[in-house]
Every structure is written in C-alpha cells, then in structure tokens.
Amino acid sequence: MNLEDIKAVGNLLAKPQKIVIVPHKNPDGDAIGSTLALWHYLKNRGQEVRIIAPNDFPKFLKWMPGNEQIMNFERENSQSKTLIEQATIIFTLDFNHLGRIGQMEPVLKESDATFIMIDHHQAPSDYAQYMYSDVLMSSTCEMVYNFIEFLGDDDKITPEMANCIYTGIMTDTGSFKYSSTTSRTHTIVAALIDKGAENTKAHNLVYDTNTPTRLHLLGCALKNMVILKEYNTAYITLSQDELDTYDYQKGDTEGFVNYGLTLHGICFAVIFIENKEEGIIKISFRSEGNFSVNEFARKHFNGGGHTNAAGGRSDVSLQETTEYFISLLKDYKTQLNA
C-alpha cells in the first residue's frame, strides 16, 4: 500500500463509518483470524463494524476472541443483505476476486461502499478502490498487522487481536515452515507474543482437536492415495460415501492433501473430494518448489491460489475427474521432474 492510499484510508477511518468485513467462502484460519483482528481494531476505534462470512467455518476456529459475532450470510441472509446495503466501507480479506464469496457476490457488486482489499493471492481483480495486495506475504494476518502499523496503531494491538493474528499466520504458514515465512514473519510473531498471543494454546486449540471419526477418515484417505512416480505426484480421493461412513464434519479434511508431499521425491499432491449436495468435486493442490499449482488450477480446474497451494473444482464425476487429471500430467512431465 503506498503512502497516499494509507493516508486516504486513515482519513476515511477518522470519520464514523458503517463497516462490513468479508472473508472468502469456506473461511480458513487466516480468513477468520484476519477479519477478527481487523474487527477488534475498528471496533476499538469506535467504528460500527460487522464481519459477514459467506458460510460457516470449522469448529476448531470457533475459540478465537469475537468469533461469536461473525454473521453467516447463508443463515442470516436478510440481516446480512441490509448491513451490506448500508455499508460505507467494505473490507475484503484473504481473497481478491468476488467469485470467491459465493452467493454474496451479486450483493457486493450492487454496493456503493468504498472497497478495501487486503490479500496475498495472485492476480487480484480490480473491484477495490484501495488495494493492499502482496503475493510475497505469508498470510493476510501478517498484512493486517502491517496495515495497523501503517496507520501508526501497532501499540493498539490487544491480546485478543494478537491471538487472532497469530493463529492466521500459524495456519497459513503450516506452523511457520512454508517458504513464504520470512524473518519479518517471525519478528511479527515475536511482537504478537509480547502483546499477549498465547502460542501454545493456539496450537492446541487448532491442531489437537481430532475426533476418532476424523482420524478414521484420514486413514481412509491415506489408503486411497495413488502415487504416480513418473510424475512425482500423489493424489487422494474421497467419495461422498466414504465421507458419510466416517461422519464427515466441515473442516475434517483440512490438511489431508499435505500428506502426499511428505513422501520422499513427491512434489505435487492433490486431493479430490466429492460433494454430492453441490454436485461438484472439490480439489486442493499442493506443490513443493517451482511447479505452480496456481497456474495448473486456473487453467484446468476453475480455480487458483498461490504457487504452492491452490484450489479448484470439477463438475464431472470423481472417476472422470481423476482420469482427466492424470491425462493432463503428460504435458507437465518435464516440470514435475525438474
């Protein structure tokens, strides 16, 4: 964000506004952490502010301070619409394309509010008047920390905000191990602990919350894993029947895709998850090194994301989807063996 924009946003926030903060659909730790931290910050500045999420989010995130204030657009539809219609400022966090918010898209498109984007994904679209977009950032949470610092308010970061920002950085960096983790990330994390972030508690509450059925579902996923050695690729499938057998709850498959990358020599890992209700196959892509899953997902599976982590979808059956996927790999053989 350039100085001029920071000044302009600072001036906007100096006046009373009606603010709505929006994370992407199926919000993750970074989306919930960043929207909550910003919510606390703006509320403490005396602003009228609400977070409206496109849909529900996993239980292991429902301990973060203020989470009970998050509105669910699916469940509280008319109230959400009214708040968006009345908003003078809309912050969009952890996404950069209105297609990422599902049924909220047409409602946001109608709004005359000033849009402010804070996000670290590639190829932002141009709906926002003020854009803080940086693909080199570990997480939107790290950017919210910077944003508050830009406004000269890092001394106003409360323990509540510190816990939310810490959690989002932790989840988006795979506990500080992905290549997007910089010395600056660690400097911010150190500052957050000084400001009251409870690091051990955040880890326990997010990662040590398995249910027996989730571990059994993981077992099923790992058993289904197919390893394509010639492409250094591993993929997992989960059918709706399998999800039902293990009493699938929202968020249960989070992180499953990463297991493929723990295999020696594998640099491309994918999970295909059948969703009968939506009639789609949800896909997550992960890679190590230079192979861009963002480009792969954009080109073939109506998705996108980052170089090493992206999502996509398919409208054909699980079997047709994996067959199509395998047929694509031929063209990437050199890249995947680099």
Residues that bind Mn ion (CB under 5 A): 30, 94, 139-140, 172
Asked if 291 and 336 count as a contact pair (C-beta separation under 8 A), the reply is yes
Helix 29-44 vs helix 159-172: angle between axes, to the nearest 10 degrees? 160
State CA 187 to chain mean position distance: 22
CA–CA distances in Å: residue 103 to residues 99, 294, 295? 9, 23, 25
Q: How far is the CB of 334 from Mn ion (least distance, A)?
A: 30
CB atoms within 10 A of CB 133: 17
Q: How far is the CB of 292 from Mn ion (least distance, A)?
A: 17
Asked if 314 and 271 count as a contact pair (C-beta separation under 8 A), the reply is no
Asked if 54 and 102 count as a contact pair (C-beta separation under 8 A), the reply is yes
Asked if 232 and 193 count as a contact pair (C-beta separation under 8 A), the reply is no
What's the CA gap between 168 and 163, in Å, rounded? Answer: 9
| 3-state class (DSSP) for residue 227 | strand
Asked if 258 and 177 count as a contact pair (C-beta separation under 8 A), the reply is no
Max CA pair span of the chain: 60
Which one, 93 or 148, has the nearer CB to Mn ion? Answer: 93
Which one, 3 or 136, has the nearer CB to Mn ion? Answer: 136
Which one, 173 or 335, has the nearer CB to Mn ion? Answer: 173
Task: Give the CB-nearest residue to Mn ion.
Answer: 30
Q: How far is the CB of 131 from Mn ion (least distance, A)?
A: 16
Which one, 168 or 234, has the nearer CB to Mn ion? Answer: 168
Q: How far is the CB of 311 from Mn ion (least distance, A)?
A: 12
Which one, 94 or 252, has the nearer CB to Mn ion? Answer: 94
Q: How far is the CB of 174 from Mn ion (least distance, A)?
A: 12
Which one, 80 or 173, has the nearer CB to Mn ion? Answer: 173
What's the CA gap between 273 and 236, in Å, rounded? Answer: 8
Q: How far is the CB of 143 from Mn ion (least distance, A)?
A: 9
Torsion of CA 90, 96, 98, 99, to 10 degrees: -150
Which one, 122 or 129, has the nearer CB to Mn ion? Answer: 122
Which one, 124 or 238, has the nearer CB to Mn ion? Answer: 124
Q: How far is the CB of 139 from Mn ion (least distance, A)?
A: 5
Q: How far is the CB of 136 from Mn ion (least distance, A)?
A: 13
What's the CA gap between 87 and 223, in Å, rounded? Answer: 49
